[in-house]
Amino acid sequence: MNLGIAGRKAIVCASSRGLGKACAKALAQAGCEVVINGRDARQLQATAEEISGQTGARVIPVVADVATAEGQKALLSACPAPDILVNNNAGPPMRDFRALTRAQMIDGVIANMIAAIELIQQVIDPMVARRFGRIVNITSGSVKMPLAGLDLSSGARAGLTAFLAGVARSVAAANVTINNILPGAFDTDRLRGVLRRTAEQKGVSVEEAAKARIATIPAGRFGQPDEFGAACAFLCSAQAGYITGQNLLIDGGVFNGAF
């Protein structure tokens, strides 16, 4: 399927590894010029070379912390007028909500809510003026199915979702869309870290921890990042202009509800 976005410019935040990388790769495959981002310069450079080698696309690496004003400035200097923005960042670590300090809560809200809104503030009016814009936020299945210990992550991401629900409607007539993708369990470094910690806590092997987690997923497996990237690229496609303000849960059937 031709997604109709060849030549479009995209910024994909937090994309040197994992789901962000998969989104960047899928957009590069669709012919976009892609700014990718991470804090580890060596990893980011390797990913830029990998994606450009696989797709032939122009891939611009920007080493930056997306949660900071300087980081956002660096991203927008590399791509001042993006047609596509994919918001992503690491999530706060698992922690009992009683143990969270005020500073940690504020940092979590900045990382998983405010940073995305700040970037959107900076790119949306030019998108409206050009009559094309696609914004996708990587949130989490925990927005629909909160998990004790990930309360800050669930809360900040739910805040982002609600905040943008009105914004999405306000720009829809200009062919600018804002959607969220909610990952379930995808096979990334982050998931492998979670499985390692679960294995330690339960005194089992990582393979056993993975098997137990997979047993809770109707699809019987973890999601592959490329499957996530393909969904993101579709939401960024020319054809997806009528899809806005939506939450696409990709979790192999874990959320047990008809709607």
Ligand X SMILES: NC(=O)c1ccc[n+]([C@@H]2O[C@H](COP(=O)([O-])OP(=O)(O)OC[C@H]3O[C@@H](n4cnc5c(N)ncnc54)[C@H](OP(=O)(O)O)[C@@H]3O)[C@@H](O)[C@H]2O)c1
**Footprint of ligand X on this chain (CB under 6 A)?**
14-20, 37-40, 43, 65-67, 88-91, 138, 140-141, 183, 185-186, 188-191
Which amino acid is it at 200? Answer: E
Give dist(CA 98, CA 4) in Å, integer: 48
Give dist(CA 127, CA 134) in Å, integer: 8
Q: Which is nearer to ligand X, 152 or 176 (CB)?
A: 152
Asked if residues 150 and 158 have their Cβ atoms less than 8 Å apart, the reply is: no
Q: Work out how close the CB of 230 gets to ligand X at its nearest, in angstroms, rounded to a whole number.
A: 15
Q: Which is nearer to ligand X, 175 or 246 (CB)?
A: 246
Task: Say how far residue 246 (Cα) sits from the centre of its chain.
Answer: 14
Q: Which is nearer to ligand X, 61 or 133 (CB)?
A: 61
Q: Work out how close the CB of 96 gets to ligand X at its nearest, in angstroms, rounded to a whole number.
A: 18
Q: Which is nearer to ligand X, 91 or 133 (CB)?
A: 91
Geometric angle at alpha carbon 145, from 144 and 150, rounded to 5°: 110
Tokens 């790119």 belong to residue: 123
Give me the sign of the Cα torsion angle 76, 81, 247, 236.
negative
Q: Work out how close the CB of 41 gets to ligand X at its nearest, in angstroms, rounded to a whole number.
A: 8
Of the candidates 152, 82, 174, 159, the one whose C-alpha atom is nearest the C-alpha of residue 120 is 82
Q: Work out how close the CB of 52 gets to ligand X at its nearest, in angstroms, rounded to a whole number.
A: 17
Nearest to ligand X by Cβ — which residue?
18
Q: Which is nearer to ligand X, 171 or 188 (CB)?
A: 188
Tokens matching residue 56: 């032939």
Q: Which is nearer to ligand X, 37 or 177 (CB)?
A: 37
Tokens matching residue 138: 């990587």
Q: Work out how close the CB of 140 gets to ligand X at its nearest, in angstroms, rounded to a whole number.
A: 4
Tokens 């592959």 belong to residue: 224
Q: Work out how close the CB of 74 gets to ligand X at its nearest, in angstroms, rounded to a whole number.
A: 10
